[in-house]
Amino acid sequence: MATARQITNSALRKIGRLGGGREPRLSDQTDVLAALQGLYTSWIAAGSFGRLDDVVPTGTSYVARGNERILRTSEAQMSVTLPELVDDSSYQDYGRQRAGYYGTVITVDTDETTGVVTVDVQPGQPLSYSVTPRDGSPVVIVDREGGQVCSWLYDGTAKRWERLDMLQLDGQAPRSLADPEGLSALLALEIADTFGAEVGPTTQMQAARYRMAMTHRFGMRQDGVAGVYC
């Protein structure tokens, strides 16, 4: 996984503002880091990872689920846990079968005396097991009393939650492990106008590749989505 410093430096090189093997000015690094943080939050706001459910939990503790915006009120201060595993026992794929989940049990029996073979076919029972959170799942915690908004994003490739609002230059850049060049290319497109630079066709191609992988997530498991009919 690339650090935020590597991603920002690569973005500056792609727009011709930084030579190979050189370090940018601190002011430029700070501006580009802010642009990178803005990219993450804009993806969440735009629904690139799905819509968010607004949740106001009660009690002293709460286990978050992916795609939740959690409000912590002054009357109900609590600890919020980001799950490493989620229960998948209620998984339904809306018309598609998932291998090993709602399978078919086939029992083959041979009578030792007559040699007659019987085959019994019965529908399988749903299995209960856990999976990691969905790739790209965001969790936003709004602390009304403290006035803070904290955002996390689950990186399905690195298998861990990444904090967005506390991103530092030497910290790991969320969602950079799968395609660091694509992420830096998207960042280059974001900052090109700020620096009065042009973006080449290769950088545009890398950015499009990353954007498609981010929104479609063909490399991850597909969750069923209920249809909405009006």
Q: What is the pLDDT of residues 104-142, one digit of tens each?
A: 566 667 777 777 777 666 665 555 556 788 888 899 999
CATH code 1.10.3230 for 4-84+135-216:
yes
Answer yes or no: is pLDDT of 94 > 60. Answer: no
The CATH 1.10.3230 portion of the chain extends over 4-84+135-216
Placement of tokens 């080449």 in the chain: 200
Query: What does the alpha-carbon distance between residue 35 and residue 29 come to, in Å, rounded to a whole number?
Result: 10
Give the least confident one: 23-37, 91-105, 117-131: 91-105
Query: What are the φ and ψ backbone dihedral angles of 91, each rounded to 5 degrees?
Result: -65, 130
3-state secondary structure of 104: strand
The reported pLDDT for the residue numbered 132 is 82
The reported pLDDT for the residue numbered 189 is 96
The per-residue pLDDT for range 74-84, each reduced to its tens digit, is 655 678 888 88
Q: What is the mean pLDDT of the chain?
A: 81
Residue closest to 70 by CA, chosen among 14, 5, 147, 143: 143
3-state secondary structure of 149: strand
Query: What does the alpha-carbon distance between residue 43 and residue 132 come to, in Å, rounded to a whole number?
Result: 21
